[in-house]
Amino acid sequence: MIQEKHQLDGGGALALYFCEENTVVAKNYEYGPFVRSSYLVECCTDGTGYLIINGNRFNIKKGDCYVLLPGDLVTHGTVAHSNRSELSCTIRGDEFGRAVREAGITSESPFVTGEAYESISKSIRRLVSIDRDRSIGADYMRTAEMYRIMSALVMGKNTRESSNAIIKALGIIDSNYDTPLSIDEIARRVGLERSYFSVLFREHTGMTPHAYLNSVRIERACVLMRDTEAPLSEIAISVGLEPTGFSRMFKREVGESPMKYRKKIITTVL
C-alpha cells in the first residue's frame, strides 16, 4: 500500500498539491492501493477503467469526473481492451472539503454530474498550463481555478437534486392525476417552493406543471373513451376533472370536442 507522507486530514488553507494530464495510461494497468492526504479530482478524457475505493469497485469511462477523499484506500486500473487518458489535480484545505461535502460526494458516491465535467476539466487544463509558473499572478489564477472547481461541484449537486425533484414530481402526477391534485401540493411533496418548482419543471419538461397535469388527465380520458362506454361526466371525474369544464379543456388539448372524438373512434372501429 502506498501512502502520502502527510497527515490525513485535508485541513489547512486551500492549496493545490499537484496537477497533471496523463494522455495515455496503458491497457490492463493497475496501481495502488493508495491512501492520499488530499482530495484528488480526476476527469477521464478517453478510454475506460475502474476504481476500487475501500473495496468497492466503480467503472469509469470517458466523460466521467470524480473526487477521491483523503484517507480512502484507492486502487486505479485500466481494462485489457482500452487505454485511458485523464486530467487530475490534488487539492488540500478545509474550504475544499466543505465544498465536497456540500456537493454530496462520498466514498460510496464519488462521481459528479456530466454538466460539471466540462467546467472541471477546463479548469484542470488551465492549472496544468500554468503549473511551472511561480509568479504571483499565476498563484491568483490557480486559486481562481480551484474556486471554479468547487463551484462546479456544488452546482452539479444542485442540478442533480433539481432533476431528482422533477422526476419525483412526474411520478406523483402519473400516480395521482385522478385526484384533486394541486401544483402547491406537488411542490410541497418534492420539497420546493411553488414558483421555483414551476420554473424548474418548465426547464426540464418544456411545460408548466399545470399544463403537464392536464395533458396527463386528457390522455387518460382518451383511453377511457376508447376502451369504455362510460358517460363523459363519469370519465371527467375519474381523471380528476370537473365535468362542467371537461369539454372545454378536452377541445383545447385535443383540437375537437369529446363527443366528436368518441364518434370518430367508434367509426374507426366499425
Contacts of 129 (CB under 8 A, 6+ apart): none
Contact criterion met (CB below 8 Å) for 48 and 91: no
Q: Name every residue whose Cβ is closer than 8 Å to that of residue 228 and which is 6 or more positions away in sequence.
A: 235
Q: Could you list the residue range(s) of the whole structural domain that residue 23 is in?
A: 2-158
Alpha-carbon gap, residue 125 to 127, rounded angstroms: 5
pLDDT of 96 > 90? The answer is yes
Taking alpha carbons only, the member of 92, 5, 81, 102 closest to residue 41 is: 92
CATH code (residue 98): 2.60.120.280
Query: Does residue 246 share a domain with residue 154?
Result: no
Does 122 share its domain with 193?
Answer: no
Do 213 and 265 have their domain in common? yes
Would you give the DSSP letter of residue 132? Answer: T
Q: What is the pLDDT averaged over residues 198-209? A: 87
Task: State how many domains the chain has.
Answer: 2
- The answer on 186 and 149 residing in a single domain is no
**Where does a domain end: 158, 192, 211?**
158
Per-residue pLDDT reduced to its tens digit, 221-253: 998 988 888 999 999 999 999 999 899 999 988
Given a cut of 70, whether residue 128 has pLDDT beyond it is yes
Which pLDDT band holds residue 67 (cuts at 50, 70, 90)? very high
Backbone angles phi, psi at 135, to 5 degrees: -75, 160
Give the per-residue pLDDT at 146: 95
Place of cell 444542485: 158
Do 208 and 151 reside in the same domain of the chain? no
The answer on 69 and 136 residing in a single domain is: yes
Residues 14 and 148 in one domain: yes
Which residue is listed with cell 468547487? Answer: 150
Q: Would you say 198 and 211 are in contact if contact means Cβ atoms under 8 Å apart?
A: no
The beta strand positions in the chain, using DSSP E, are 2-3, 15-25, 30-35, 39-53, 56-61, 65-68, 73-78, 84-92
What is the pLDDT, as a whole number, of residue 35? 94
Give backbone dihedrals phi and psi of 104, rounded to 5 degrees, phi first.
Answer: 80, 20
Q: Domain holding 238: CATH number? A: 1.10.10.60
Asked if residue 195 and residue 90 are part of one domain, the reply reads no
Q: What pTM value is reported for the model?
A: 0.60
